[in-house]
Amino acid sequence: MTRPPAETLERGATPWLFAAALAAVLPHAAHQPAWLSVAAALLFAWSAGLWWRDGRLPGRWPLAALVAAGCAGILFEFRTLFGRDAGVALLVVLTALKLLEMRSRRDATVVVTLGYFLLLTHFLYAQDIPAGLWLPVALCLLTAALIRLHGGSAAGGPRRVLGQAALLCVQSLPFMLVLFVLFPRVSGPLWGLPQDAHAGLTGLSETMTPGSIADLVQNGELAFSVRFDGAIPPRDKLYWRGPVLEHYDGRTWRPHPGRQPAPRVEARSAPLGYETTLEPHRQTLLLALDAPTALPPDFAVDGTLTAKRLQPLVERRRFRAAASLDYRYNADESPVSLRRNLALPPGRNPQARALAESWRTGENGPDGVIRRALALFGSRDFAYTLQPPLLGEQPIDDFLFTTRRGFCEHYAAAFVVLMRAAGIPARVVTGYQGGEANPVDGYLVVRQSDAHAWAEVWLAGEGWRRVDPTSAVAPERVETGVAAALSAGEPLPALVRVRADWLRTLRYRWEALNNAWNQHVIGYDERRQRELLGRFGFPDIDWRGLAAALGAGCGLLLLALLGWALYRRPRHEPVQALWRKALRQLARSGVDCAPWETPVALARRVRERAPALAADFEAVAAAYLRARYGPDGDLAILRAAVARLSSRRRT
Amino acid sequence: MRLPDLASLAAAPRPFDPVLARAGEVIRGKDEAIRLALACLLAGGHLLIEDLPGMGKTTLAHTLARLLGLQFSRIQFTSDLLPADITGVSIFERERGEFRFLPGPLFAQLVLADEINRATPKTQSALLEAMEERQVTAEGQTRELPTPFFVIATQNPAHQIGTFPLPESQLDRFLMRIELGYPDPAAERSLLAAGGQRARAERLPALLAADDLAKAQQAVAGVHVSPALIDYVQALLAATRRDPSFQHGLSPRAGLALIAAARAWAWLAGRDLALPDDVQAVLPAVACHRLRALPGGGYARPEDIAALIRSVPIP
């Protein structure tokens, strides 16, 4: 098939397309299976080589085979062609393959359009600062490719093309800002994201087995960040409550599945307000500070004081809450609940039970039992480590009497078993403990490595009391953080263990920057929008008001740009103004004047295309040429000629 | 009010129309080339015709010389031609006891320098110097060449064996470069039927009086070039400098040549003002040999010039 020359792709435009496609595909390499990135790189190299040697592009059948192979690979990897991961992978493969099919300008346009779309899909994976910085770079390259594609070699050298693309992007910035600030925000995603959009998120699990929290601690990712209304309270008061685990089968701890009556909390200190920004953890937990006194609207505490809501959290959200650090709750716990928290699996851990029962007799009440247990852990025999030895069939016995090395979940579990064996109702609480204050922006940053497990015991007349057995074996864990409590050989994320001052400062700054980005850009939600608009005097604006503001904002910007363009427009002398008027008349009759076309040539074309106007237009052309190119132009004649042309056209 | 039409723009006398008509009878189907050659002559420039042998280059030169009543001489350039062979030599006359200068073939009003690229660079530069200076310096004495002085140089395409292609700086001395190309079938048929045209050219009458050409050249110089047209020429020059498909852009001298050629073109059409049309018409002849197209580095082709014209809006 032959194409008209204007349709064929110019050789000089191809490198631009490679660069643009690469910029769009590159970020996806971070989360794609390696074979896919390698395949895409090979396809890029192949098409670049063909371009370099001016080789023949592969025919239709080889390409079809490659497409089939790509689809098969994606099906094998993801078991589907749809959804976020498989869909993006498919787009990457197709973009790389399209480069092998670049014959006409249309093919190139397809590549650029795919590139714009691929760029957008990057935000399904990352919304952080690097992603935000990469966007303008890639956008610029894609736009430059488009400019080069349509401008041909007359578009100029690379610097000119890139400059023009950058100018276009900069010109679109005000619109982006207006849309960002004013576009109506809805809580929750605007459209349903594919099912797998939030895969691979880490967080607390609903159950606890030995090692489950130790695994989490090796992850330096952010769990949530908090800003307190006042100063940050001391670390050993910062217990962020997650699932409370009451059932024990000898190995795994689970929460009680049934409903429980709402807890009765007696706050004994003034409530402390704070704002927490939760990373998406796909759970319903708020991870509120103990003990919550005020919660965000859609959250409620369950019978074990854990704040939850109905829908899992799939996007980063900000919530306001308040807590009372000194509290008592459920002094009148139901007998059913107490029985549940005394239950031990029959026949398991006999040594531990025997030990606890020996404490029960002769000691001065439950307080004495608790002290003895903590004293046991505090003895020199016990060590705090992320890499405990494997435990056998009787895990608690093994831990207490043989290995004596463990992480917080070992201590919490062993403590609760001892308490229950001694007749004191007790349960395991999981969550986060402490956090790291960032001196740059005053936020408290809580990471997955701050995950923790502790215990709660119920004492008559007092209710549930928090006891953290880890503080007995490794007080640093609670007072300073996990890095101080573990020896240097433990597999902690490097981020958590940074010691050098300058590096630490750098990290604080980077995290503060990230946090500011999360708070103000990613976290710009309905409430922030209302706050901001309220500050500008529009306190109660609904979506209609927003739409109006949006329209007005964009309209004003357009007007400003238009005004600028008009201001920058070359001033036409009256001669040219009249000529342009005549050209407009012609255009309305279906004859357009190319910018390089001379009036004489145009007159010739008018004779063919619009014979009725030919004579009048010829008069205009003659008068215009005389006025513009002659020594003695007469404006009056030109004006008369243009007037006659206009009147002729109307009749 | 009586409104003008396009014909009214071209109302000046056109004394060269008979020349064009008669020349067109001899060299058939090449009206455009003849008109360009005449325009070049009227603009006071020299002409380079580049084509294969037998396309009528010599006949064209001969015809123009006859019709314009110019003194004509033809120099066949060969590799052993020396500068003195074209400028002339002094010989000693025994009777008068002094040297007498015998002017070479360069001392004519229209010189046909045939196959200029066969001569050595030394001889080429003697010719080109004479073209530029319109005078000849031989044996320490400077002698004026006749006026008008007009060189039509012909050149076979440079890839033939044993040729010395003209360097760019010397190509610039030619106001225009044209190609004649094969005649169209009808013109070729009538040419074949009529037999060779060379003899016919020899018998052509002079259509102009002695000083008509000088007057015409004066009139051409008086053709009005408006600032708007200069803007256009400048835009075209700038575009050649910006366009990556050319090795380098056109020089200001090329711009002057373009304006002079456009003036002559307009005058030949009977206009006393030059239009963008005139610039576009002469641009390929003026610009092709001054530009190097990339990749390859050969002369710019007419398609390149057409693309150039399409990329520059008329201001």
Provide DSSP, A194-259. PGGGGTT-----SSB-TTHHHHHHT---EEEEEEESSSPPPGGG-EEEEEEE-EE-SS-EE---S-
Residue A547 has pLDDT above 60, yes or no: yes
pLDDT, position A3? 42
If you average pLDDT over residues A119-127, what whole number do you get? Answer: 85
> Minimal Cα distance from A623: which residue of B?
B4
Token representation of residue B271: 């206009």
Q: Which of A594, A603, A630 sits opposite B224 (nearest CB)?
A: A630
Q: Give which of B2, B9, B304 to mutate to test A binding, by max A Cβ within 10 Å.
A: B9
> Minimal Cα distance from B230: which residue of A?
A629
In a domain, A18, yes or no: yes
All residues of chain A having their beta carbon less than 8 Å from the beta carbon of residue B6 are 600, 603, 618, 621-622, 625
- CA B89 – CA B100 distance, rounded (Å): 8
pLDDT, position A212? 75
In a domain, B4, yes or no: no
In a domain, A517, yes or no: no
Among B220, B242, B268, the domain boundary falls at B220
In a domain, B31, yes or no: yes
Q: Output the 3-class SS for A36-105.
A: HHHHHHHHHHHHHHHHHHCCCCCCHHHHHHHHHHHHHHHHHHHCCCCHHHHHHHHHHHHHHHHHHHCCEH
Short-list A643, A623, A364, A341, CA closest to A463: A341
A466 and A532 housed in the same domain: no
B284 and B143 housed in the same domain: no
A165 and A253 housed in the same domain: no
The identity of residue A305, as a single letter, is L
- CA B292 – CA A226 distance, rounded (Å): 68
Contact A640 B6 (CB under 8 A): no
Short-list A136, A97, A88, A95, CA closest to A114: A95
Q: Give which of A159, A606, A629 to mutate to test B binding, by max B Cβ within 10 Å.
A: A629
Q: Which of B226, B280, B313 sits opposite A630 (nearest CB)?
A: B226
Q: How far is A580 from chain B (nearest CA, A)?
A: 12
C-alpha distance from residue B70 to each of A35, A515, B13, B146 (Å) = 81, 90, 22, 10
Residue B266 has pLDDT above 90, yes or no: yes
C-alpha distance from residue A492 to each of A91, A200, A204, A238, A506 (Å) = 37, 20, 17, 21, 19
Q: How far is B254 from chain A (nearest CA, A)?
A: 20
If you average pLDDT over residues A609-623, what whole number do you get? Answer: 88
Residue A516 has pLDDT above 80, yes or no: yes
B106 and B36 housed in the same domain: yes
pLDDT, position A571? 63
In a domain, A412, yes or no: yes
Residue A512 CA to its chain's centroid (Å): 16
B239 and B267 housed in the same domain: yes
Which of the residues of A are catalytic?
408, 452, 468
Instruction: Provide the sign of the torsion angle of the four alpha carbons A553, A554, A555, A556, taken in this order.
Output: positive
Q: Which of B5, B224, B277 sits opposite A601 (nearest CB)?
A: B277
**Segment 150-209 of chain A within 8 Å of chain B by CB:** 152-154, 156-157
Identify the CATH number of the domain in which residue B57 sits.
3.40.50.300
A562 and A599 housed in the same domain: no
Residue A570 has pLDDT above 70, yes or no: no
Instruction: Give me the helices (H) in B43-146, please.
Output: 57-68, 83-87, 121-133
- CA A202 – CA A206 distance, rounded (Å): 12
B178 and B250 housed in the same domain: no
More confident residue, B208 or A39: A39
B146 and B162 housed in the same domain: yes
Residue A240 CA to its chain's centroid (Å): 24
**Segment 356-375 of chain A within 8 Å of chain B by CB:** none
> Minimal Cα distance from B312: which residue of A?
A596
If you average pLDDT over residues B243-251, what whole number do you get? Answer: 84
All residues of chain B having their beta carbon less than 8 Å from the beta carbon of residue A154 are 239, 242-243, 307, 311
If you average pLDDT over residues A225-234, what whole number do you get? Answer: 89
Task: Give phi and psi for A23, each to the nearest 5.
Answer: -60, -35
pLDDT, position A5? 44
Residue A425 has pLDDT above 70, yes or no: yes
Q: Which of A596, A621, A626 sits opposite B309 (nearest CB)?
A: A596
DSSP structure string for A425-476: -EEEEEEEE--EE-TTT-PEEEEGGGEEEEEEEEETTTEEEEE-THHHH-HH
- CA A131 – CA A125 distance, rounded (Å): 9
Residue A4 has pLDDT above 70, yes or no: no
Contact A12 B244 (CB under 8 A): yes
- How many beta-carbon contacts under 8 Å exist across A and B? 83
What's the DSSP call for residue A192?
P
Short-list B264, B166, B277, B164, CA closest to B220: B264
**pLDDT class for A499, splitting at 50, 70, 90?**
low
Q: Do the beta carbons of residue B62 and residue B111 sit within 8 Å?
A: no
**pLDDT class for B56, splitting at 50, 70, 90?**
confident
In a domain, B73, yes or no: yes
> Minimal Cα distance from A614: which residue of B?
B5
pLDDT, position A188? 52
- Specify the number of domains making up chain B: 2
Residue A248 has pLDDT above 80, yes or no: yes
In a domain, B28, yes or no: yes
pLDDT, position B194? 77
B283 and B306 housed in the same domain: yes
A540 and A439 housed in the same domain: no
Residue A456 has pLDDT above 80, yes or no: yes
Token representation of residue B173: 């001395």
Q: Give which of A54, A571, A579, A598 to mutate to test B binding, by max B Cβ within 10 Å.
A: A598
Domain assignment of residue A58, given as a range: 11-182
Token representation of residue A13: 């435009």
Contact B242 A156 (CB under 8 A): yes
Domain assignment of residue B73, given as a range: 13-220
Identify the CATH number of the domain in which residue B262 sits.
1.10.8.80
The identity of residue A616, as a single letter, is D
**Segment 558-617 of chain A within 8 Å of chain B by CB:** 594-601, 603, 615
Q: How far is A594 from chain B (nearest CA, A)?
A: 8
- CA A320 – CA A301 distance, rounded (Å): 15
A418 and A461 housed in the same domain: yes
Q: How many residues does chain B have?
A: 315
B201 and B226 housed in the same domain: no
C-alpha distance from residue A177 to each of A170, A171, A527 (Å) = 11, 11, 18
- Specify the number of domains making up chain A: 4
A377 and A481 housed in the same domain: yes
What is the phi-psi region of residue A250: left when phi exceeds 0, alpha when psi lies from -120 to 50, beta otherwise?
Answer: left
B268 and B128 housed in the same domain: no
In a domain, A558, yes or no: yes
pLDDT, position B255? 93
pLDDT, position A530? 81
pLDDT tens per residue across span B145-155: 888 888 998 88
What's the DSSP call for residue A122?
G
B231 and B199 housed in the same domain: no
Contact B9 A596 (CB under 8 A): no
In a domain, B190, yes or no: yes
Contact A154 B239 (CB under 8 A): yes
Q: How far is B59 from chain A (nearest CA, A)?
A: 33
Q: Which residues pair with B174 in a beta bridge?
A: B46
- CA B91 – CA B94 distance, rounded (Å): 9
**pLDDT class for B274, splitting at 50, 70, 90?**
very high
- CA A413 – CA A424 distance, rounded (Å): 14
> Minimal Cα distance from A618: which residue of B?
B5
A403 and A362 housed in the same domain: yes
Between A125-129, A537-541, B117-121, B290-294, the lowest mean confidence (pLDDT) is in A537-541
H or E element in which residue A294 lies:
strand A292-294
B94 and B186 housed in the same domain: yes
A553 and A633 housed in the same domain: no
Token representation of residue A536: 């500008």
More confident residue, A324 or A542: A324
In a domain, A445, yes or no: yes
C-alpha distance from residue B260 to each of A635, B48, B264 (Å) = 28, 16, 6
Q: Which of A625, A628, A640 sits opposite B3 (nearest CB)?
A: A640
In a domain, A241, yes or no: yes
> Minimal Cα distance from A636: which residue of B?
B1
Short-list A377, A354, A359, A546, CA closest to A475: A377
pLDDT tens per residue across span A164-183: 999 999 988 888 888 888 88
Q: Which residues pair with A429 in a beta bridge?
A: A244, A454
In a domain, A506, yes or no: no
ipTM of the complex in this document: 0.87
**CA atoms in the 13 A half-sphere facing the CB of B221:** 8
Token representation of residue A65: 């085979």
Q: How far is A596 from chain B (nearest CA, A)?
A: 4
Opening angle at CA B261, ends B258 and B267, nearest 5: 140
C-alpha distance from residue A606 to each of A603, A611, A615 (Å) = 5, 6, 9
A122 and A252 housed in the same domain: no
A460 and A537 housed in the same domain: no
Q: Which of A153, A598, A629 sits opposite B245 (nearest CB)?
A: A153
- CA B273 – CA B8 distance, rounded (Å): 12
C-alpha distance from residue A376 to each of A384, A404, A432, B215 (Å) = 14, 11, 24, 124
B308 and B171 housed in the same domain: no
What's the DSSP call for residue A591?
-
What's the DSSP call for residue A579?
H
Cis peptide before A595 (omega within 30 of 0): no
B140 and B175 housed in the same domain: yes
In a domain, B179, yes or no: yes
Give A49: exposed, middle or buried? Use CB within 10 Å, 0-12, 13-18, 19+.
exposed
Cβ atoms < 10 Å from Cβ of B280 = 23
In a domain, A189, yes or no: no
Contact A598 B239 (CB under 8 A): no
Q: Which of B4, B226, B245 sits opposite A629 (nearest CB)?
A: B226
Residue B159 has pLDDT above 80, yes or no: no
Among B220, B255, B286, the domain boundary falls at B220
Q: Do the beta carbons of residue A644 and residue A626 sit within 8 Å?
A: no
> Minimal Cα distance from A631: which residue of B?
B224
Helix, strand, coil percent values for chain B (each to nearest 5): 45, 15, 35
Contact A622 B277 (CB under 8 A): no
A223 and A349 housed in the same domain: yes
Opening angle at CA A76, ends A74 and A78, nearest 5: 65
Residue A650 CA to its chain's centroid (Å): 59
Among A513, A534, A568, the domain boundary falls at A568
Short-list A318, A27, A314, A29, CA closest to A196: A314
Token representation of residue A131: 């992603």
Q: Do the beta carbons of residue A245 and residue A456 sit within 8 Å?
A: no
Q: Which residues pair with B176 in a beta bridge?
A: B47
pLDDT, position A309? 87
A242 and A133 housed in the same domain: no
Among B196, B220, B244, the domain boundary falls at B220
pLDDT, position B276? 93
- CA A30 – CA A130 distance, rounded (Å): 12
All residues of chain A having their beta carbon less than 8 Å from the beta carbon of residue B310 are 594, 596
User: For residues A120-159, b (16+ Cβ closer than 10 Å) or e, as one string?
Assistant: ebbebbeeeeeeeebbeebbbbbbbbbbbbeebbebbeee
